[in-house]
Structure 1
Amino acid sequence: MHQLTLTRFIAATPEAVWDVLANRQEEWFCPKPWRAEVTAQERRAGGRSAITMYGPDGEVMPNEGIFLAWDEGRRFVTTDACTADFEPSGPFMIGIWEIEPASEGGVEGTRYTASARHWSEEAMQQHEAMGFTEGWGACADQLKALCEAG
């Protein structure tokens, strides 16, 4: 499997983390100074997942795809391999965002894991070179800060 993954421990309950993860994506989904706008979220397998990211210099990056899974309170999985009309769209990855109860240093909280699975080694390396660790890491840190702020 051609997968890139990162994790964070978040000192907040899984319920609190899920609420931010699922319902406040515009606040954490892309690294600042970029911003995200949720266009559509049909929270079910096969439902439309559309988020557009806007850069500080006028960049526009639409992310159109579908949900492969929506497991309320636990994880959601998307792909850009096709649109909500099941039209092929040049696949790049499958994104998986998941949480589970965890403890760290005696603190109860949540383990957040974000993964990007790619069709090829080349695509995975391209994503890594594009700044997967830095970009997705910044998003994870933004999510963590929102959750821990209450």
Structure 2
Amino acid sequence: MSQVRSSRFVRLLAAGAAGVAAVAMSPAASAQAGTAPFTVSVKGGYNNTHSLGTATGTVTGTTGSTQASYSVTLCGQSTYPSSLVTLQGGTATASHTVFYQNCETFTGDLVSSYGFTNVQVTVSGSTFYPGSQYTTYTKSKAVYF
């Protein structure tokens, strides 16, 4: 009788070890990439009433990853001579410019030397209004994916 119990125990132990090995060899569930939309507009001039530039787009990445992709449409408005959008994540930075009242779409990847969880989107535009003093205005927003 003890021989039967002993062999059942051995088979149960072997089956359990095989199950643990199968779980250990299966890949861990990977984190899902998230896509975050954003809109950043900068205003300036007299009482900040003049629209100088707007960036609209998305950032796609995985929290803690060293890479994220972006698509951004930048439209210059009452700016002189250009509007600028800068996307910064970890150690990676990408900048794009449109001149005057043009709109253009830009895509790319941010590749950092360490993992990051968000991208800082900054839009800048300049104007002489009011008067003749040239002034640059900036607006920023953190985008988490």
The TM-score with structure 2 as length reference comes to 0.26
Flag the structure with higher helix content: 1
Q: Which has the higher contact order (CA 8 A, sep 6+)?
A: 1
